[in-house]
């Protein structure tokens, strides 16, 4: 077990995973704040192009190499050290973000890191097969991971210097499975199993039942992080709601201009409008709380609101649809309310297997869980009054569920997930509207 961190609360830099954004750390940051870690010392970074290349050595529009990701971490660490006048930071990463952390530490970054925590990082690959996508960053038999796992003469796979911890599931991580189902190769042995994220030389934590993203963003993973950093239990595992006014802000991104993938680059010219909504109906309440056309930095906000009001964010941008994002009340202030403009063509429409419903759909409403996956029968999930179609039982591996509205466009659609409830409106597909009910949990 690591020694407690000094009472000065070192800066923490959070690194997201493949295709994700810094916004996924929102509730984790709230948990740290709620236990006394100063908000100004918690930094979640965005990879500009967060998706890994198909082959790490071949340039690909809208995607990043392992070295691109390493440089992002290096820049963020340098900025945090300079801003706070410290020599070292803590790094906490999810999934692919752990590759970037390990790569940075292994390449002259060890002296700048006191602790490194890797949640769900597939340290020995999502697959380990020299004959299957050999140049991919996630191939445990490929050059990138072979180099990182080569060892340091003492049998350890961790770079000396920082104290290391990994967090993994006991068998519910979609990217630590012996069968290739979740990489599009069902029936093909991957050569990895649930132990894949563990590292020799690290404090390796196993948490029963959690999924790939919950290894970083769930409350039990937070408990492990806090104990590793401080040597004691946290006072609370859930964010403490703030009294009075809170402020929300973030950035707007969209589709990469040269590729049909979402990135984290600023989407200049997008318009953000925010409405308070009725918690029972999803209807807008009063005039817009906020409206702004974002500039070249993609920034929106701040919006002043409170921790009791559900919100609808409306994002409009050239080349995209009109995106309606419904959220339950925000417990605390945050600058990580990052928004993505979407197109209806990019929405997963496989909500059911009825062709007639496809033809007759007036609206499509998606339930999104960015900080975890839907587990059946592990979780209680209702969308428009019913368990969503298309969620397979067993290993939790889907973070989107959808319902096609065939009776009345514009009506209320409610979602419930393990106690969190969101109500939105079924905006019509015919006008290019994209509707998401996004969970905090």
Identify the CATH number of the domain in which residue 47 sits. 3.40.50.1820
Closest by Cα among 272, 287, 279 to 412: 279
Assigned domain for 52 exists: yes
Domain end call among 230, 261, 276:
230
Assigned domain for 378 exists: yes
Give me the long-range contacts of 279-283 (CB less than 8 A, separation at least 24). Answer: 279/310, 279/421, 279/423, 280/412, 280/423, 281/412, 281/423, 282/312, 282/326, 282/412, 282/413, 282/414, 282/423, 282/424, 282/425, 283/412, 283/425
Could you tell me if 332 and 308 lie in one domain? yes
Give me the long-range contacts of 384-389 (CB less than 8 A, separation at least 24). Answer: 384/413, 384/414, 384/415, 385/414, 388/351, 389/351, 389/352, 389/353
Could you tell me if 418 and 282 lie in one domain? yes
- The whole domain housing 292 covers 245-438
- Enumerate residues 6+ apart whose C-beta is below 8 A from 160: 110, 152
DSSP string, 357-394: HHHH-SEEEEEE-TTS-B-TTTS-EEETTBPPTT--SS
Domain count, the chain: 2
Sign of the C-alpha dihedral computed for residues 247, 343, 211 and 139 taken in this order? negative
Ordered per-residue pLDDT tens for the chain, 441 residues = 444 454 589 999 999 999 999 999 999 999 999 999 999 999 999 999 999 999 999 999 999 999 999 999 999 999 999 999 999 999 999 999 999 999 999 999 999 999 999 999 999 999 999 999 999 999 999 999 999 999 877 889 999 999 999 999 999 999 999 999 999 999 999 999 999 999 999 999 999 999 999 999 999 999 999 999 999 999 999 999 999 999 999 999 999 999 989 999 999 999 999 999 999 999 999 999 999 999 999 999 999 999 999 999 999 999 999 999 999 999 999 999 999 999 887 765 444 434 344 456 899 999 999 999 999 999 999 999 999 999 999 999 999 999 999 999 999 999 999 999 999 999 999 999 999 999 999
Closest by Cα among 417, 328, 423, 428 to 380: 417
């Amino acid at each position: 077990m690591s020694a407690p961190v000094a009472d000065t609360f070192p800066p923490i830099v959070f690194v997201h995973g493949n295709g994700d954004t810094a916004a996924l750390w929102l509730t984790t940051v709230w948990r740290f704040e709620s236990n006394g870690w100063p908000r100004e010392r918690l930094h979640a970074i965005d990879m500009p192009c967060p998706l890994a290349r198909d082959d790490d050595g071949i340039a690909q529009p809208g995607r990043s190499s392992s070295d691109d990701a390493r440089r992002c971490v290096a820049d963020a660490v340098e900025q945090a050290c300079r801003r706070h006048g410290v020599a070292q930071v803590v790094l906490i990463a999810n999934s692919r973000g752990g590759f970037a952390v390990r790569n940075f530490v292994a390449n002259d970054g060890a002296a700048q890191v006191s602790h490194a925590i890797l949640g769900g990082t597939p340290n020995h690959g999502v697959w380990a097969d020299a004959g299957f996508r050999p140049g991919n960053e996630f191939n445990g038999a490929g050059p990138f991971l072979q180099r990182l796992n080569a060892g340091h003469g003492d049998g350890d796979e961790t770079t000396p210097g920082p104290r290391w911890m990994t967090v993994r599931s006991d068998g519910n991580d979609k990217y630590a499975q012996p069968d290739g189902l979740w990489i599009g190769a069902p029936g093909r042995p991957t050569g990895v199993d649930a132990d894949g994220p563990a590292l020799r030389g690290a404090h390796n934590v196993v948490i029963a039942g959690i999924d790939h993203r919950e290894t970083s963003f769930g409350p039990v993973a937070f408990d492990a992080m806090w104990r590793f950093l401080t040597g004691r239990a946290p006072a609370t595992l859930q964010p403490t709601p703030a009294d009075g006014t809170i402020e929300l802000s973030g950035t707007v991104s969209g589709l990469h201009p040269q590729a049909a993938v979402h990135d984290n680059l600023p989407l200049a010219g997008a318009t953000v409008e925010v409405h308070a909504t009725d918690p029972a109906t999803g209807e807008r309440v009063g005039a817009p709380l906020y409206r702004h056309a974002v500039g070249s930095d993609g920034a929106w906000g701040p919006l002043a609101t409170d921790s009791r009001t559900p919100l609808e964010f409306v994002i409009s941008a050239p080349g995209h649809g009109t995106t309606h994002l419904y959220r339950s009340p925000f417990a605390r202030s945050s600058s990580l309310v990052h928004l993505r403009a979407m197109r209806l063509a990019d929405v997963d429409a496989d909500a059911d297997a009825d062709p007639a419903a496809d033809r007759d759909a007036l609206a499509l409403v998606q339930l999104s869980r960015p900080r975890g996956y839907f587990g059946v029968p592990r979780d209680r999930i209702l969308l428009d009054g019913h368990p969503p179609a298309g969620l397979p039982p067993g290993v939790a591996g889907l973070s989107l569920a959808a319902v096609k509205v065939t009776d009345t466009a514009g009506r209320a659609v409610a979602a419930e997930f393990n106690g969190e409830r969101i109500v939105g409106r079924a905006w019509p597909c015919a006008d290019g509207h994209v509707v998401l009910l996004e969970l905090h949990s």
